Structure formats: C-alpha cells, structure tokens
Chains A and B, each alone.
Chain A
Amino acid sequence: MALPLAKLRLYLSLIPLLRQRPRITFREIGEHLGLSPQAAAREIPEALMLCGVPPYMPHDYIACFTEGDKVTVRFADQFKRPARLTPAETTAILLALRALPPARGSPQASAAAGLLRKVERSMGRREVRGLARRIGARRGPGALGSRMALLEQALAERREVALEYYTQRRRALTARSVRPYALLDHLGHFYLVARDSLRGRELSFRVDRMRTVQLTDRTFERPESFSAARYRKPDLYRPGSGDLTVQVRFGPSAARFAREISQASEIRELSNGSVDRFVRTDSLRWVVDWALQHGEEAEIVGPPEARVEIRRVLEAWHARYVSARKRK
C-alpha cells in the first residue's frame, strides 16, 4: 500500500483514540503504531496540524496539544469512531485469535471466543464466516490443549509442576519439577519458560514434548527480575562456551528457506546459489536431526565429528530396514 494511504488509514484509527483518551502518552501511542515515543511526539502533531474542514478557521483545524509526554486532540468531532475493520485487518485479528494456544475452558479461550463473536457481529457474520474457512492457523491436537490448560492454571496459581519431558538433544525422557514463569508461542510451537529444579536455572520446554503434566501443591513467587520479553528473539537457544559450530549447506532449491531460518547463526552465500548456515549447538545429535529433516537439500559440511555422527545415525536407520528384510 502506498505510504500516504497507509498513513491515512492509521491516523483515521488513531484520532478517535486520541479524542477518547485525553492526555494519552506518546509511549502508549508509539506502542500502537510501532514507533518510539520520540518519533510519535514528533510525527503526530506535525501530521495533524494542517488537516481540517472548510472554511478553515482556526477551530476548523484539528488541534493537537502536547504537554510533556502527553497529547490531547480537539476539533476532530467528525472522527468520533474509527473506520470499520478492513478485510486485511479482520484477517489479522482472526489469525491472531486462531493462533492462540488451544487451552479449552481457560479464561483466555472464553475471551477469544467472545471477541470473535463480537468481531463477526460488527463485520457481518456471514462475511466473516466465509473468511474463517479461508484463514487459519494450525494449533495442535486436542492433547496439547489439555496440557496448555493445566500450564495456564499453574501460571495463574503460581504452582509448581511435575513434568515428564523428552529432551530431543539427548533423546531421553526425564522427570522434572519446574516453576512456570511464562508460556510462549515461538514459530508456531508452544513453550513453557520455567525454572528447572534439576538444572537450577531458567529453561524453555516445548509443550508437545511433555509426556505428562501434573500440578503440585507447592507454590512460589515469580522473581521480579523475570522478563518474558527476553525471549522475544529469533532463536531460543542460548549459546554456551562449549558449543560446536556446524556448517550445513543448503542447495540452490532450498537456499531461500535456509536464509529465512530463524536462528542466530552466521550465513554465507555461495556463488552456485547454495547457502551455508553455521549453526552453534551443544548437541551434535540435535543438528543431525535438523539437517536430516531437509533430506538431500541439506548436507553437513563439517566439522568431521558432525559428519561422522550423521553417518552413524543414517547407517543405524538404514540397518533397521536391512535387518528386517533379512529376517523375512
């Protein structure tokens, strides 16, 4: 969309909010617009001060009063409400609601259902129903929903949780006692961020790898210093001093995908269209599984021990077929 139109659409939504909430802070507005408070303070008065209606007497112009970090708008009575949601905006809301964790019966699930109903009513139920069939997000199976509901309860009641958890890196199922701090949606997978009693530190656990989730009667206080925003990054992996760097080469047909992988790993473009990713890991097994998912599109280039490991895994997997054939 052309810049003036995008800006117009944004301001037609912003002005009613400014009217409704006198002395709203630039920080809050900036969060809505994706701007810093300083940029919001600079841009908003400048954009609005020259807009008005004939005969363009002083009170016919939108007036923007700033007082420190707060702003108030006057003489914009025609913008009493925002414009209706556009199809693209409705799509975005619908998708955001559908992508929420499937925790049946939780307050959040009820709120999501209520909100969806109200958006449907405001748009025209028939129109949104059609759209609901066409825009979707995969949220996981029903079993995931029951685990998510338990974890949400644990978070709300600050209760410790006993988990049976499968660690992909070590291919092992372990019993854990954890203090849940937050639930995250990272690239379509749900994670629990919790303090792990076994390791004595904060870790993230994929919910679909939890075999069992049990609430305990032990309660705790979440540390003041905890910030879920720390996890707002492309890669949840925390590099350690003992990490290996594994070079994985993607052929030209998978190069675009390789560029988009959300990992904080170095990337190198090759002249033949291939792409190398340099993945830091504390587990050779993890990087082998990851490379294998791409089959012949990805090849581990080095270090030698990583090539040895992927060969070992492939040979063991292949041997399973050979031995079954020989048994027959």
Chain B
Amino acid sequence: MADVVPKFERLMNLVAFLLASPEPVPFLSIRKTVIGYNDSAREDAVEKRFDRDKKELREIGIPVEYVAADERGRDGYYIPRDQYFHHELELTDDEAALLAVLGNTARSGSDAVSANLRSALLKLTIDSPLPEELQELAARSNLLAFSRGRRDRAALDNLDRLVRAAWQCKEVRFKYRRPDARETTQRHVQPYGLGYREGEWYLVGQDLSRDSLRQFKLARIQGAVQFVKARGRGEYEIPDGFHVEEFLDKGPWEFEGGREEWARVAFDAEVAWMVEQNLAGGRKFERRTDGSGELQLKVRRSPRTHQRLLSLLAPYSADCEVLGPPWLRKQAEDHLAALAKRYS
C-alpha cells in the first residue's frame, strides 16, 4: 500500500534519520528502511515523493544536501549540522526576560508575523538562563506589546508572501486599490522592504508598472499576491542606502503626484508643542515666540494632495492652516468647503 504514512510523520522520520546518521545516506537505504518511504509503491513514485519532500524541507530552512562522493568515497544525502542547528546564544537574564515579554506580542497577535515570532521564540527560549517562573514573571512585567489589528485570512497570506518576497528578492504582482480610486490596478513590484506603522503594514518597492518607488498599504491589496515566475534567487538588487524605516515616516502625499516641494502648515499654540514633539523624520518645525509654530513637510502636487494630508491635519482641524504653496492652500480651502457642503 502506497503512502499511507501521514506526511508529518514521514518528514519527521526522514529528518530524524538524516540527523542521526553519522555519514551520508544513499537513497536506496532511505527507501528500504525509513517509514514513509519503505512501502510497496512503485520505485519511481517513491523517488518522486522523496524529491518533493527534499524540496519542501529546503523551503522551510532544513538543508538536505547530496554528496556524490565524500573524502571516504561515500555518497548520499545528509543534513549538515553546522548549517542546521541553531547556534547557542548565551543570553543574559535581561535578554531572556525580554524574550518572555516578546512572547506576549506573539501570543496576542493573529498575523503571519506573530506565528513566525512564536516559532522563533520557541527556538531562542532554549538558551534562556531564567527558570520558568522567572520567565513568567518577566512576561507579566510592565510592558505589553500587542494588538496589531484584525486581518482577514487573505491579508495574512499576503503578508507572509511579501515577507518571503522581500527576503528573497522575488518580484510580485497584485491588484491594488488606491484610497481615491474605485477600480483596482494591476501592479508589478520588486519588494524592497516591509514596515509596520500605527497598526498597518506597508510594502515599499519599485513599482515596475509605474517605474518609481512606491509605498503600498497591505490592507489595500485586493486578492492574493502572486510571485512572478522566478528566474532564480536574487532577481533584482536593492539599491545601496535603501532603508525601509525612512519610508515609514513618509505620508501618502509624498509618493504620488508631480515634483517634490515643501509645504508649510501653521499650528496654533494650543497644539504646536505636540506637533513639534512628535515630529517625524524628514520634516521641519519652527516655533514662534507666541507658542504657535510652522511645520514644513514635503508634498507632491496632485488633485488629491489635501485629501491625503487630512490623516495628518484632521486631529488639529481648525487649529491648523495650510500656508503654502498657493496651489495647496487653494486646494485645502476648496476641499474643506466641499466637505462642509455634504452636511448642509
């Protein structure tokens, strides 16, 4: 009877066997002895099964290697231990306590990154010098990092794919709906990096459809992210000096539109201190003697620039005012009038 052993059990047996073997193991030996391969299926079917398993093991980071003839003339499959085993980290008590704290993040998250964090912490915790009760105490300490927002299943899968794409430099395609558009557009992107900001995930990458560097909010991707047929790993190079965190400070008004120019926004004294204290990178703030102040930030001209700026300005509403450039000031005045009209 062919392939009656569940896949998990078969793969566990294979990994256990290769890790336990002191020397490379020929396929024939695996075929004859390892449960999951030593069944009555046809030879070519078992070989295909083995090839598929090897490939999948490699994809999850288990290096199944083949040696044609080692220094003692033996050939076969093996798992190089120095590449397989996690190196011991020699953690301090504070570092181990921090791992326990991060466990809270992993436990409370429901996204793909939380699942990977759980699995990573499981590996790192083995090096914790703290006894269980102290780890638990640390986990209940003052800091809790949690709540990354709800995500539907499709969004979780997309996040997982984009993490892999960014890591392995794999081009992707997806349908994207801009906030100001009713229809989706197809995008072909070289992912450079992924960032997390205020509960939302963002992809930064070269949009080959637009021939420019763009930021995409993952929540606005429609359907599944597809890998573009690989021409091998490392399909493209990420430019030197690229750092995703520089993009996380950028607002949507900095990505689309005409040339980049500086905008000026005045804030009243009641709120100017808050704008100044929480100033994001790449922006300037000048405080006036009466406590009010002027924010300078980069924008690109488009018919939607003010609409995009509202995510920044609305919490201050009438305590702030766009001063320039003139086109943006005019756009702000018209936009606010149009919004007010909806409620009249």
A interface residue numbers (CB < 8 A to B): 1-2, 4-5, 7-14, 16-17, 20-21, 24-25, 28, 31-34, 47, 50-56, 62, 76-93, 95-101, 107-108, 110-112, 114-115, 118-119, 121-122, 130-131, 133-138, 140-141, 143-144, 152, 155-156, 166, 168, 171, 173, 181-189, 208-209, 211, 228-229, 231-234, 252-254, 256-257, 259-260, 262, 289, 292-297, 299-300, 307-308, 310-311, 313-322, 324-325
Beyond contacts A83-B61, A89-B119: 5 other A-B pairs, Cβ-Cβ < 8 A, are A7-B8, A24-B132, A91-B167, A99-B196, A133-B193
Nearest first, the 5 A-B pairs at minimum CB distance are A187-B199, A89-B120, A134-B193, A188-B198, A292-B314
Within the complex, the shortest CB–CB distance from A99 to chain B, in Å, comes to 6
Collect the chain B residues with CB atoms within 8 Å of residue A54's CB.
17, 33-35
The answer for the CA separation of A27 and B290 in the assembled complex, in Å, is 59
| Residue from A17, A134, A297 in contact with B125 in the complex, judged by beta carbons closer than 8 Å | A17
Inter-chain CA distance A134–B241, complex, in Å, is 11
A257 contacts B117, CB within 8 Å? no
B278 at the interface (CB under 8 A from A): yes
Contact across chains for B182 and A252 when beta carbons are under 8 A apart: yes
Q: List 20 A-B contacts (CB under 8 A).
A: A9-B119, A28-B132, A32-B121, A81-B88, A82-B123, A83-B85, A85-B120, A85-B124, A92-B116, A95-B113, A96-B145, A98-B245, A100-B143, A101-B143, A119-B89, A135-B166, A138-B195, A181-B142, A229-B144, A321-B322
Interface flags for B114-148 (1: CB within 8 Å of A; 0: not) read 11111111111110000010001000101111111
- Within 8 Å by CB of A92, from B91, B120, B146, B338, lies B120
Q: Which residues of A contact B302 (CB under 8 A)?
A: none
Kindly state the separation between the CA atoms of A8 and B306 in the bound complex, as whole angstroms.
51
Kindly provide the distance from the CB of A307 to the nearest chain B CB, expressed in whole angstroms.
5
Task: Assess the A89–B123 pair: CB atoms within 8 A.
Answer: yes
List chain B residues, Cβ under 8 A from A310: 343
B178–chain A nearest beta-carbon distance, Å: 8
What residues on B are CB-neighbors of A100 within 8 Å?
143, 145
Complex: how many Å from CA A86 to CA B271? Answer: 45
Chain A residues near B274 (CB-CB < 8 A):
166, 208-209, 211
Instruction: Please tell me if the beta carbons of B342 and A299 are within 8 angstroms of each other in the complex.
Output: yes
CA distance A119 to B102 in the complex (A): 15
CB contact under 8 A between A93 and B193, given known A134-B238, A182-B144, A317-B317: no
Q: Chain A residues with Cβ under 8 A from B84's Cβ? A: 83-84
Chain A residues near B243 (CB-CB < 8 A): 133, 136
B336, A318: Cβ atoms under 8 Å? yes
Chain B positions within 8 Å of A133 at CB level? 193, 238, 242-244
Q: A256 and B220: CB pair below 8 A? A: yes
Contact with A along B15-28 (1 / 0, CB 8 A): 11101100000000
Chain A contacts of B49 at CB under 8 A?
none
- A5: which B residues are within 8 A, CB to CB? 11, 56, 59-60
* Any A CB within 8 A of the CB of B105: yes
B89 lies within 8 A of A184 (CB): no
| A21, A54, A96 pick with most chain B CB within 10 angstroms | A96
A152 nearest CB across to chain B (Å): 7
* Interfacial chain B residues near A99, Cβ < 8 Å: 105, 145, 196
Question: Beyond A135-B195, A252-B182, is A115–B91 a contact (Cβ under 8 Å)?
Answer: yes
Instruction: Encode B321-344 as 1/0 by CB contact (under 8 A) with A.
Output: 110000001001101111110111
A143–B142 touching, CB < 8 Å: no
- Residues in B neighbouring A307, C-beta threshold 8 A: 343
Q: Indicate the member of B91, B97, B278 with the most A CB atoms within 10 Å.
A: B278
B210 at the interface (CB under 8 A from A): no
Q: Which residues of B (168-220) have their CB < 8 Å from a CB of A? A: 168, 177-182, 192-200, 219-220
**How many residues on chain B are close to A (CB under 8 Å)?**
134
* Chain B proximity of A30: nearest CB distance (Å): 10
The interface residues of chain A lying within 8 Å CB-to-CB of B112 are 88
B311 contacts partner chain A, Cβ-Cβ < 8 Å: yes
Inter-subunit contact A233/B147 (CB<8 Å) = yes
> What number of A-B contacts does a CB cutoff of 8 Å give?
391
Bound CA–CA A121/B146 (angstroms)? 28
User: In the assembly, what is the distance between CA of A234 and CA of B321, in Å?
Assistant: 33
A5 to B94, CA, bound (A): 33
Give A184 Cβ to nearest chain B Cβ, in Å. 5
Report yes or no: B12 in contact with A32, Cβ–Cβ below 8 A: no
Tell me the residues in window 232-279 of chain B with beta carbons closer than 8 Å to chain A beta carbons.
Answer: 238, 242-245, 248-249, 270-271, 273-274, 277-279
Asked if B120 contacts A93 (CB within 8 A), the reply is: yes
The reply to whether B195 and A13 contact each other, CB–CB distance below 8 Å, is no
Chain B residue contacts of A31, Cβ below 8 A:
103, 107
Give the docked Cα–Cα distance between A300 and B339 (Å): 11
Q: Is A138 within 8 A of B248, CB to CB? A: yes
Contacts known (A8-B8, A51-B13, A54-B33); A185 close to B146, Cβ less than 8 A: yes
Asked if B297 is at the interface of the complex by the 8 Å CB criterion, the answer is no
Chain A, Cβ-Cβ closest to B199: A187
Whether B92 contacts A208 by the Cβ 8 Å rule is no
| B residues less than 8 Å from A131 (CB atoms) | 167
Contact A321 B332 (CB under 8 A): yes
User: Does B150 belong to the interface (CB within 8 Å)?
Assistant: yes
Complex contacts, B164 vs chain A, CB 8 Å: 87-88
Q: Chain A: which residue is nearest B84 at the CB level? A: A83
Q: Which residues from chain B contact A83 at a C-beta distance below 8 Å? A: 61-62, 84-86, 123
Given A168-B315, A318-B336: A234 in contact with B195 (beta carbons within 8 A): no
**Which of A5, A7, A122, A136 has the most B CB atoms < 10 Å from its CB?**
A136
A51's partner among B9, B118, B181, B277 (CB-CB below 8 A) is B9
B73 at the interface (CB under 8 A from A): no
